[in-house]
Amino acid sequence: MFCKVASMGIVGIDAFEVLAEADISRGLPSFDIVGLPDIGVKEARNRVRAGIKNSGFEFPVSKITVNLAPADIKKIGSFYDLPIALSILQASHQIPAFNDKNAFIGELSLSGEVKSVNGVLPMVIKAKELGFENIFVPEQNLQEGTIVAGINVFPVKTLSQLASHLKGRTRIEPGMAKTFEYKDVQYDVDFKEVKGQLKAKRAIEVAVAGGHNILLIGVPGAGKSMLAKRIPSILPPMTFEEAVETTKIYSIVGNLSQDNPLCFNRPFRAPHQTISLAGLTGGGSVPMPGEISLAHNGVLFLDELPEFARATIEGLRQPMEDKVITISRAKSKLTYPSFVMVVAAMNPCPCGFYGHPTKKCKCTPGAVEKYLSKVSGPMLDRIDIHVEVAPVEFSDMASNSEAESSEEIRARVTKARKIQWQRFRNLSFNCNADINAAYINRICKTTKEAANMIQMAFEKLSFSARAYNKILKIARTIADLDEEEIINAKHVAEALQYRSLDRRYWR
């Protein structure tokens, strides 16, 4: 007897349909799973055998072969236990046949309980796209599944409970599709605690408003880390689509809150300098998204940039440019998205005081050069805004007057972002930093005076083509903060200022 049961698998952040096909025939008793299973899926044999027996069913004493189709994509994970068990129960006539509009996901425990799995959100999204009407998921993953409207998501506790539902004896009720409300988080840090540093704060505001990468460079104790750590408090809200995209990644790594699974706050990831290349960009023996993908639609903060291994920093070049990272494996290619704003902070030299107005730097010119060269030219070119964080003035530090709060800055940033959402509503990107080269001239219209200013700077300062585009994009953001449709000379002048430090330090 032959039966098939639909399920879902994961490649990268997207899902695909998997059919568990069971064949039970006469012959020496055996149980094989074929169809490119990895070691984890092979272990399903033991769980399924025990799960079936301990749920009050019989495990057929026959030759059992389960094929996971399509056979050319590697099957990773434990979510096939449930469809494998159901296909065997069906093929041995222990549960009735059901229609092909049902899909099943779940890991089995030896006792027959259905345990939570990672990646339920992308699987439910795909199942809906493929026209499935019902999807059965582990009870603990219900909230995540009901983010998707238009498909019935059933919470399953045990194999015997599900069998009873399929036999029509007891009924499992599908979860209600959620309507999500955006909730502001309260941060325990605020920009009002940072005294002075108006120039750096303005640069950060521009960077966040347009999603631009930013490098803060300055002497120790100037407040670089302090400023960067306050960036989450001024990030604009996410659109629902952005929230779902980010949640998909956290669903795959199994890092979602059960009660409130939708990530409505932009991620802020600050990996330590010792992180490996695979940790940062993704990979590993069972490929997983790296920090750059975990920061998707949010911020990746690299504090003390030159302390990261050079190869690790360089590994960011491709995903920063392409906004996706592709990991190649013998039989597959995985793609993870990486729309991130990179924030980096560093000292200008090993002792930290190179360029300090009063303190003397103790480093030799060679040591300074070696330190700075850890950040390569191409990497620097990808960072839109470079800003020097000077030591805080005593008068600022001693002053009692309160600086502008994060809430006020965030209001301006959000206003500028809303202009961008409106502008890019039918395009594949949604902030100025990500404007595709093909659209730059159409979107970044300048006055004649502004165009002349860029031309002069380009000729005098030998900017790269990328730097030229970045200047236009930054100027676009500054104009959006001013609510101006056309970029003028003042906007360009400010944008040019943000591209001058590389010439000062990286001569």
Q: Is 363 in the site for ligand ATP (CB under 6 A)?
A: no
Q: Is 406 in the site for ligand ATP (CB under 6 A)?
A: no
Least distance from ligand ATP to the Cβ atom of residue 190, Å: 12
Q: Which is nearer to Mg ion, 165 or 229 (CB)?
A: 229
Residue whose CB is nearest to Mg ion in the complex, by number = 225
x/- map, 171-210, ligand ATP, by CB under 6 A:
-----------------------xxxx-------------
Count the residues of the shown chain that bind ligand ATP, applying the rule CB under 6 A: 15
Q: Which of 67, 102, 293, 347 binds ligand ATP (CB under 6 A)?
A: 347
| Residue 4 binds which of Mg ion, ligand ATP, none (CB < 5-8 A, kind-dependent) | none
Looking only at residues 377 through 396 of this chain, which bind ligand ATP when binding is defined by CB under 6 A? 392
C-alpha R_g of the chain: 27
DSSP characters for 245-263? HHHHHHHHTT---SSS-S-
Task: State how far the Cα of 347 lies from the Cα of 357, in Å rounded to an integer.
Answer: 14
| Site of interaction with Mg ion (CB under 5 A) | 224-225
Q: Which of 88, 93, 92 is nearest to 104 (CA)?
A: 88
For 119, other C-beta atoms within 10 Å of its C-beta total 25
Strand intervals (E) in 48-146: 63-69, 102-104, 107-108, 114-115, 134-138
* Stretch touching ligand ATP by CB under 6 A, among 215-223, 423-431, 463-471, 484-492: 215-223
Q: Is 399 in the site for ligand ATP (CB under 6 A)?
A: no
The single-letter DSSP state of residue 131 is T
Least distance from ligand ATP to the Cβ atom of residue 352, Å: 6
Least distance from ligand ATP to the Cβ atom of residue 497, Å: 20
Q: Which of 117, 93, 104, 111 is nearest to 24 (CA)?
A: 93
Residue whose CB is nearest to ligand ATP in the complex, by number = 223
Least distance from ligand ATP to the Cβ atom of residue 505, Å: 15
Q: Which is nearer to ligand ATP, 225 or 469 (CB)?
A: 225
Q: Which is nearer to Mg ion, 269 or 323 (CB)?
A: 269
For 430, other C-beta atoms within 10 Å of its C-beta total 19
Q: Is 11 in the site for ligand ATP (CB under 6 A)?
A: no
Contacts of 225 (CB under 8 A, 6+ apart): 303, 345
| Residue 226 binds which of ligand ATP, Mg ion, none (CB < 5-8 A, kind-dependent) | ligand ATP
| Residue 65 binds which of ligand ATP, Mg ion, none (CB < 5-8 A, kind-dependent) | none
Least distance from ligand ATP to the Cβ atom of residue 371, Å: 13
From its phi and psi, is residue 396 left (phi > 0), alpha (psi between -120 and 50) or beta? alpha
Q: Which of 81, 96, 90 is nearest to 50 (CA)?
A: 81
Q: Is 156 in the site for ligand ATP (CB under 6 A)?
A: no
Least distance from ligand ATP to the Cβ atom of residue 200, Å: 9
* Stretch touching ligand ATP by CB under 6 A, among 36-44, 214-222, 319-327, 354-362: 214-222
Q: Is 405 in the site for ligand ATP (CB under 6 A)?
A: no
Q: Which of 381, 405, 361, 383 is nearest to 463 (CA)?
A: 381
How many degrees, rounded to 5, is the angle at CA 402 between CA 398 and CA 404? 130
Residue 32: phi and psi, rounded to 5, are: -120, 145
Q: Is 410 in the site for ligand ATP (CB under 6 A)?
A: no
**What string of H, E and C letters represents the secondary structure of 226-239?**
HHHHCHHHHCCCCC
Least distance from Mg ion to the Cβ atom of residue 350, Å: 14
Task: Please give the helix or strand (H or E) that residue 156 lies within, else none.
Answer: strand 152-156
Q: Which of 109, 225, 332, 497 binds ligand ATP (CB under 6 A)?
A: 225
Q: Which is nearer to ligand ATP, 194 or 280 (CB)?
A: 194
Q: Is 220 in the site for ligand ATP (CB under 6 A)?
A: yes
Amino acid at residue number 7 = S
Between 465-481 and 448-461, two packed helices, what is the crossing angle to 10 degrees? 140
Per the CB < 8 A criterion, the answer to whether 233 and 189 are in contact is yes
Residues that bind ligand ATP (CB under 6 A): 194-197, 218, 220-226, 347, 352, 392
